[in-house]
Copies of this chain bind each other. A is one copy, B any other.
Amino acid sequence: MHTTTRVVDTVNMLEGPGAARPYHHGNLRAALIATAVDQARAGGADAVVLRDAARRTGVSHNAAYRHFADRDDLLAEVSERAMAELEQRMRDRLADLPDDDRGEPASARLRAVGREYVHFALAEPGLFATAFACARPKDGAPGQGPYGVLSTMLDELVTTGVLPAERRPGADVTCWAAVHGLAVLCLQGPLRDLSEREREEQLDGLLERLSRGL
């Protein structure tokens, strides 16, 4: 899609000072999204501002409307990237786990994923909030996204025999809700002022209770 035979490098458009970009940017859509992601990272969904994004990208306002129907459309794109980054972090965390934990209690893997979920939320509050602030319901494949990762973990628990199969349905939602709730409460809720240590303790407690109740 969007094939082009233009000579200019359409990917690495980090313009130098005297770049004098051509009339046609060549990569505007991606560049705008990147700028908007920066905005979201810095200040959440509200900080995603069309005019400012265009300005920072070195293009006039309104240029964005050739690539996005409206602000919400751009925001949806940012939300998607944020969600993807969250998923990637969870997968990376899983991959980093020592193989020792591979065979033994798969619940350790589940805990690691949950912990990473909360850590991401606290490390990237803007992106985390934007990931879920999308007004447009973008229906993705059910096995994809952070939910997919979590779901896979739980399936693993069943095959390992740790989790009785009859208790599997609904377990994903419970796990997700608990972890998501803690993240939200720590970000904008009454747990905002917890120290890092207290937060970690609460997270540990939650994960323990969660696996106990599965």
Chain A contact residues, CB within 8 Å of chain B: 46, 132-134, 137, 145, 147, 169-171, 173-174, 176-185, 188-193, 201-202, 205-206, 209-214
Contacts and interface: CB of A to CB of B under 8 A. Distances in A.
Contact of A177 (B132, B173, B178, B214): B178
B180 A189 contact: yes
Closest 10 A-B residue pairs measured CB to CB?
A213-B213, A181-B181, A170-B205, A177-B181, A177-B182, A180-B181, A212-B213, A209-B213, A178-B178, A174-B206
Q: State the majority secondary structure of interface residues on A.
A: helix
A129 B18 CA distance: 47
Given A180-B184, A213-B210, A202 B170 contact: yes
Nearest to A193: B137
Nearest to A131: B189
